Structure 1
Amino acid sequence: MSHSATSTLREAGHNIGPVNVDQVLHDVNILGPLDDNTRKILSKEATVFLAVLHRTFNATRKALLQRRVVRQAELDKGNLLDFLPETKHVRENSAWRGAPPAPGLVDRRTEITGPTDRKMVVNALNADVWTYMADFEDSNAPTWDNMINGQLNLHDAIRKQVDFKQGEKEYKLRTDRVLPTLITRARGWHLEEKHMTVDGEPISASLFDFGLYFFNNAEELVNRGTGPYFYLPKMESHLEARLWNDVFNLAQDYIGMRRGTIRGTVLIETIPAAFEMDEIIYELRDHSSGLNCGRWDYIFSVIKRFRQNPAFVLPDRSAVTMTVPFMDAYVKLLIRTCHARGVHAMGGMAAQIPIKNDPAANEKAMDSVRADKLREVKAGHDGTWVAHPALASIANEIFNANMPTPNQMHVRREDVSVTAQDLLNMNVPGSITEAGIRKNLNIGLGYMEGWLRGVGCVPINYLMEDAATAEVSRSQLWQWVKHGVSTQEGVKVDKGYALKLLHEQADELEKSAGKGNKFQVAAKYFAGQVTGEEYAEFLTSLLYNEITNVSEKTPAAKL
């Protein structure tokens, strides 16, 4: 190892041990455009760290993804999910606990979520909330610019250097109070970052997002009184949580940080994960900061995993509320499980956007937010999500009135007993209507069109729609065609009918959109997903190549 390579890494303040930089960076390439911002975030030292993460863990990641395929094949045969017999001892052992809440995570009653563009970062940190979940996943379109600039924005925000001016308007962080605790959501295990390759294959997007944020900010966050905290999405088993825990341990060891400093909140947003909540907390226990009810992704997962089973056909999206049997069971089990293990049980998203030009409609929408947050706090949740700063006051009002303590882990919910049958109870009253089909088409097309332009969350009818709600929309359409349902109006939902309505909605949306819109491109991709035939695991994977900006290879050693 050359003296210069050793010195460079030590001067960066990182305790990496005996690593030969040139050897590690061999066959590591950057395919995204490089500029000063990229080099600030994706330094040579950070790239070494990413390469180490990828080579250590990518084979396990791919094996776990293959495990999902095998499990899906079993479900397609008509088999159902159940609690795992091989981990019964973990569920029944009442002695173990997750980690106590970390600094800045004791009280999480209101969390705001959103993408990592600079304006959102400033507005979120200025909101009257306790934490900000900065999202590289469902509300973000992973263009190279979005990923690099998002990392830069968080880097600057942590150091309180994020103020900027846009036109005549200035965006500045508040100085009159402690800012919300920052939590970052990396992309899920299924995604890749094609703008960086290691040994000829794209790096895991999860490891890319986590690795850059951790390497550049972990020590600074601890010095400022919090720590490197993460939301972990889309997991389907405790083995996937074990992989994250292994990643956390290696990362902390790599820079000489105490194990347990990282904390991860797991979104329970897949139906297989709902059967492994105890086990997921157990695998992450020294790093666990609880579980979250990712409601829309959860509905999507139920449809996706049981899409071949006619017993799982659901009515219009609007009928699948949090009080239907399978959703109610999911919430109760999550709260009971978390509180038995001494970790937070976080509630779900309020996606409403204030309706400024219609006071009556706005009040009705805000009343629905109040009812949802009251249900959550009464059920025992320790906090909740909002998508817009204006909703923070409503969430705060409800939680402050009903949760005078920083959290309510003392609400053990020992009255709750949830069976496998409860989690799979599809007794959901409601109909399938043409209006519901068109609504799904509008949401799916609207989201996909925005995503193709590099925008990861889209306001539609005063709701902030992201990848999760788009996935529900297309999965319902696929399911309805596959099983030949009839609408309330008496029309059979077949391939021809679905495509007819799709093209009508796409044409209508295109007419009212500005020049350069991508509704017809979105319709082309959507058409393959609503006929009950092909089914992509994720829309984001299906569309990803449309927004990659791969350039000539730059060897990482030249960063």
Structure 2
Amino acid sequence: MADAARTLPTEPASGLVVAADAAGQQEVLTPAALAFLEGLHRRFDPVRQARLADRRARQARFDAGELPDFRADTRAIREGDWTVAPVPAALQDRRVEITGPVDPKMVINALNSGANCYMADFEDSTSPTWANQITGQQALIRAVAGDLEWTAPGTGRQYRLDPAANTVLIVRPRGWHLDEKHVQVDGQRLSGSLFDLGLFAFHNAAALHARGRGPYFYLPKLQSMEEAALWDAVLGHIETTLGLPVGTMKVTVLIETLPAAFEMDEILHALRGRIAGLNCGRWDYIFSYLKTFRRHRDRVLPERGQVGMTQPFLKAYSELLIRTCHRRGAHAMGGMAAQIPIAGDPVANNEALERVRRDKVREAEAGHDGTWVAHPALIPVAREVFDARMPGPNQLQRRRDDVAVDRDALLRPSIGTITRKGFDDNVEVCVRYLAAWLDGNGCVPIHWLMEDAATAEIARAQLWQWLHWGERCGDHGERPCLHLDDGTPIDGSLFDRALLGLPARLAGQNVAAAGRIAEAIELLDRLTHADDMPEFLTLAAYERLA
């Protein structure tokens, strides 16, 4: 980075303030790096704020009864004959990608895992404490340099990068809606997106480019082509500032919001010089469906366990993504398998692995070019499935011209029920995840699933929607209201009893961050009883983080 840094100011302007301190901060937040971040903020934050205002305005229209649809003003893009720029060699084969937070142990294990790619996640699986952000950036700097090591406290076990490992690093910054409160410019918070991606690029882009490894990024939570165009402008500016050829930085966009599903062609087009593919971010997509239709009684979903990828609206979304990507020369990545090994119960473990295998068979046979796993133990399962069905590096030749998806197919609600166990499990997952997140851990094993912010958001959004429609159903409060499958009304008392009974339910279990459970219960209680569904669980919780 030394050559690129010489083109930048050596000191940040007086308007930038870092209001926190963490071990190793001086290594990451050098004067030149801070000046670089300040330049990004001043150039792009006004546009970011405008795009966030667009989101709020569109959601208000959805709340008033409007339905998402394909845009009339971009029909020419959807119907045009164009393709994206060629995908680089390092991203041609992405059949198995592992994802996880950015702590040093995870970075080492993921890069040594044998997966084709590792998505280092500053977003849904990282609790954005200041210490976690600095430690994560340090870990990635050292991983790119090849000298990352970590020693486990207590046991003294040492972890080192395998020099022979060939896993490709992809970084996911936080979404446009998230701020980095510890860095302010003229009293305004820096964008979490610009902080995460900008800082990583500043320190690592030149080295990765020299090795033909990017840098590469996953871009989360986009809702429109205009938001994609903002990313394209940011990345182009970074390339120019750091002296990289335009188009060096490649991205994959997660289609994990319902509005984005109607703009997949447009998002690819906005990023056509640097996009490698789209990803089925299934858990966030379900959350987005819930949030988009929070005021639509006719689109309330059943409990989370019944909303799988074979449900018609999810099947339509994934197949449309494959068709759109392959038509444009981009990869269509499958979704996350959140299962983790079930220790001490080989029968249950084999059943869980079989569910993963069936899910990956569905993805490979549908035409996906690769998939995600949350745990190294799932890599062999996913690889075996894709190796058997995808002998080449990808399936771009499968155009899926048989897929015809209209608006109604993407919006069709699921059929199912809400059981008492499903209701109580949502409460438990929310509280346990929130407690761990507040304690600095953004990726939490609960009931043999790796829960992150996306899955917790599903549970939280469902609780809000069920409770509000259970108590306020009908145009004027008429019955019938929502019920559990045993006939129990879903109302405030049912939720309150579940919260009150949770400490006893958790007693004797090995619960992460048990000391934060009461705080998490209070926060979930407040958010669920709020008249308006909060946009994101993590926005309110973030103010409580160090």
Q: Sort the TM-score into its range (normalised by shorter chain).
A: over 0.9
Deviation string, structure 1 residues 462-495 (Cα, Å, up to 9, x no partner):
1000000000001111111111111111111112
Q: 1:259 to 1:515 in 2, by over 3 A?
A: closer
The question of whether the paired residues in 2 share the 8 Å contact of 1:163 and 1:170 is answered with yes
- Shift of residue 515, structure 1, vs aligned partner: 7.9
Q: Cα distance, 1:369 vs. partner?
A: 0.4
SS of the residue aligned with 1:230? strand
Q: Please, which of 143, 146, 152 is the counterpart of residue 157 of structure 1?
A: 143
Q: Pick closer, same or farther for the CA change 1:308–1:142 going to 2, 3 Å.
A: same
Quote the Cα distance in structure 1 between the aligned partners of 2:465 and 2:221: 21
1:252-299 deviations in whole A, cap 9, x for unaligned? 000111000001100000000000000001000111011000001000
Aligned to 1:457: 443
Distance 1:80 1:103 in 2: 40
**Distance in 1 between the 2:446 and 2:420 partners?**
18
Unaligned runs of 5+ in 1: 1-10, 549-559
- 4+ residue segments displaced more than 6 Å: none
**What is the deviation of 1:12?**
2.5
Q: 1:330: how far off?
A: 0.2
CA distance, structure 2, for counterparts of residue 316 and residue 347 of structure 1: 22
Alignment match, 1:27: 15
2:11 pairs with 1:13: no
The reply on whether 1:257 has 2:255 as its aligned counterpart is no
Q: Is 2:498 the partner of 1:501? A: yes
Shift of 1:508: 3.1
d(CA) in 2 for partners of 1:51 and 1:506?
Answer: 45
Partner of 1:527: 525
Q: Partner amino acid for 1:71?
A: R
Deviation at 1:225, TM superposition (A): 2.5
Residue 545 of structure 1 pairs with residue 543 of structure 2: yes
Residue 294 (structure 2) pairs with residue 280 (structure 1): no
Question: Distance between the aligned counterparts of 1:516 and 1:84, measured in 2?
Answer: 47
Conserved? CA contact 1:16–1:255, under 8 Å: no
Query: Which has the higher relative contact order, 1 or 2, with Cα contacts under 8 A spaced 6 or more apart?
Result: 1
Question: Does the 8 Å contact 1:450/1:458 carry over to 2?
Answer: yes
For 1:557, the equivalent position in structure 2 comes to none
Counterparts of 1:2-151 in structure 2 under 5 Å? 12-14=2-4, 24-35=12-23, 37-94=24-81, 96-151=82-137
1:229 aligns with 2:216: yes
1:399–1:252 distance in 2 versus 1, CA, 3 Å: same
What SS class does the counterpart of residue 251 from structure 1 fall into? helix
Tell me what 2:321 maps to. Answer: 334
Q: Distance in 2 between matches of 1:509 and 1:39?
A: 41
Deviates more, 1:405-414 or 1:159-168: 159-168
Q: Secondary structure at the match of 1:362?
A: helix
Query: Structure 2: which amino acid aligns with 1:26?
Result: S
Counterparts in 2 of 1:182 and 1:514: CA distance versus 1, 3 Å: closer
Q: Note closer, same or farther for the CA distance 1:288–1:279 as it changes in structure 2 (3 Å cut).
A: same
CA distance in structure 2 between the partners assigned to 1:523 and 1:26 by the alignment: 41
Offset, 1:16: 6.8
Q: Aligned partners of 1:99 and 1:43: how far apart in 2?
A: 34
Contact 1:509–1:519 under 8 Å retained in 2: no
> Contact conserved, 2:326 with 2:332, CA < 8 A, in 1?
yes
Secondary structure at 1:492 match in 2: coil
**Any residues of structure 2 matched to 1:405-554 within 5 Å, and which?**
405-426=392-413, 428-484=414-470, 485-509=482-506, 512=509, 513=511, 517-531=515-529, 533-548=531-546
- C-alpha contact (below 8 Å) 1:528/1:534 kept by paired residues: no
Q: Structure 2 matches for 1:324-403, cutoff 5 A? A: 324-403=311-390
Match of 1:188 in 2: 175
CA distance in 2 between partners of 1:495 and 1:424 (Å):
28
Describe the shift of the 1:20–1:180 C-alpha distance in structure 2 as closer, same or farther (beyond 3 A): closer
Q: Deviations over 1:229-268 (max 9, x none)?
A: 0000011111000000000010000011100000110000
Give the residue type in structure 2 aligned to 1:169: R
Could you say what the CA RMSD is over the residues aligned between the two structures, in angstroms? 1.4
Contact 1:351 1:386 in 2 (8 A): yes
CA distance in 1, matches of 2:513, 2:289: 37
Match of 1:172 in 2: 160
Post-superposition offset of 1:497: 1.6
8 Å CA contact 1:134–1:184 kept in 2: the answer is yes
Query: Partners in 1 of 2:209 and 2:224 — Cα distance?
Result: 30
Q: Secondary structure at the match of 1:414?
A: coil
Partners of 2:348 and 2:426 in 1: how far apart?
21
Contact 1:21 1:48 in 2 (8 A): yes
Match of residue 208 from structure 1: 195
Alpha-carbon shift at residue 529 of structure 1 (Å): 2.5
Count of residues in correspondence between the two structures: 532
Aligned counterpart, 2:297: 310
Counterpart of 2:536, as a letter, is F
Deviations 1:314-364 (A, max 9, x none): 111111110111000000100000000101100000111111200000000
Q: Which amino acid aligns with 1:486?
A: H
Q: Please report how far the alpha carbon of residue 15 of structure 1 lies from its aligned counterpart in structure 2 after TM superposition.
A: 6.5
Decide whether the 8 Å contact of 1:264 with 1:289 is kept in 2.
Answer: yes
Distance in 1 of aligned mates of 2:206 and 2:114: 26
Per-residue CA deviations over 1:485-534 (Å, capped at 9, x if unaligned) read 11111111112221221221245336644786201100111002223623
Gaps of 5+ in 2: 471-481
**2:529 partner SS:** coil
SS in structure 1 at match of 2:97: strand
Helix, strand or coil at the partner of 1:50: helix
Contact 1:109-1:407 within 8 A present in 2 as well: yes
Cα 1:318–1:516 shift into 2, 3 Å: closer
Q: Whole-Å Cα distance in 2 between the matches of residues 506 and 313 of structure 1? A: 29
Q: Is the CA contact 1:482–1:532 (under 8 Å) kept in the aligned structure 2?
A: no
**Matches of 1:301 and 1:311, distance apart in 2:** 16
* Identity level (%): 47
Cα deviation, residue 134, structure 1: 0.2
Contact 2:111 2:165 in 1 (8 A): no
User: C-alpha separation between the residues in 2 aligned to 1:130 and 1:20?
Assistant: 38
Q: Secondary structure at the match of 1:483?
A: helix
TM-score by length of 1: 0.93
2:54 maps to amino acid? R
**Offset of residue 25 of structure 1:** 1.4
